[in-house]
């Protein structure tokens, strides 16, 4: 089954911030980061249950080459991306995003 991917506004903000940070480090590195994100999202879209379930119905897919995880849930026929966060970030942040998403539904 091919799931539709929905990226929440907070996760879009994460991607913009991370892209900008990598571009500041080295021109073109931000684009490399986004390409790796695209590869991971494509994999998630086709095999969403392949990635580790880390909390209730939340999965995390690590991004190749970069120390980031894509936090998402499977909601019927769609994948909802809640956050894209550095692996060392406080877990309270993605847990807060989950509760915000649940209360917004």
Query: Mind listing the pLDDT tens digit for each residue in 8-57?
Result: 999 999 999 999 999 999 999 999 999 999 999 999 999 999 999 998 88
Q: Which residue has the tokens 């849930």?
A: 73
Q: Which residue has the tokens 């940070």?
A: 21
48 Cβ neighbours under 8 A, 6+ residues apart = 3, 59, 72, 74, 79
HSE of 105, CA atoms in CB hemisphere, 13 A: 8
- Residue 10 has what pLDDT? 94
Note the pTM of the prediction, 2 decimals.
0.89
The domain segmentation of the chain, as residue ranges, is 4-104
May I ask the CATH architecture of the domain 4-104? 2-Layer Sandwich (3.30)
């Amino acid at each position: 089954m091919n799931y539709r991917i929905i990226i929440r506004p907070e996760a879009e903000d994460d991607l913009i911030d991370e892209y900008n940070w990598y571009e500041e480090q080295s021109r073109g590195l931000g684009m490399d980061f986004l390409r790796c994100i695209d590869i991971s999202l494509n994999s998630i879209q086709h095999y969403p249950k392949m990635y580790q379930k880390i909390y209730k119905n939340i999965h995390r897919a690590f991004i190749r080459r970069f120390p980031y995880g894509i936090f998402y849930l499977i909601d019927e026929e769609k994948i909802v991306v809640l956050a894209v966060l550095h692996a060392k970030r406080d877990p309270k942040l993605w847990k807060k995003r989950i509760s915000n998403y649940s209360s917004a539904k």
